[in-house]
Amino acid sequence: MSFRTNPDRILEHIDRQRNRDDEGRLDFTREASARELDTEVPTGDATLAERLRRIFSLIEKAYVATASGPEIRRLAQRFQTVGDISSHHARGDVGITVSYLDHDRPDDVGLIPFEIRPDRLDETRKVSKTSSPDANALRILREDLRSGVMGAYKKMEPRLRDGVRERADVGHVSVRVAIDLRPAR
Least confident of 27-31, 113-117, 175-179: 27-31
- Report the C-alpha gap between 36 and 98 in whole angstroms: 10
> In the beta sheet, which residues pair with residue 100?
173
Provide the pLDDT for residue 79.
64
The band of 169, judged by pLDDT with boundaries at 50, 70 and 90, is confident
Instruction: Give residue 160's region: left, alpha or beta (phi > 0; psi -120 to 50).
Output: alpha
Q: Quote the mean pLDDT of the chain.
A: 82
The radius of gyration of the chain from alpha carbons, rounded to an integer in Å, stands at 21
Per-domain residue ranges for the chain? Answer: 32-184
Provide the pLDDT for residue 67.
94
- Over the stretch 1-59, which tens digit does the pLDDT of each residue have? 455 666 767 777 766 766 665 555 545 578 899 999 988 888 878 888 898 999 999 99
Provide the pLDDT for residue 85.
43
Provide the pLDDT for residue 83.
46
Greater confidence (148 vs 122) lies with 148
Provide the pLDDT for residue 86.
47
Contact by Cβ (8 Å): 111, 94: yes
H or E stretch at 37: strand 31-38
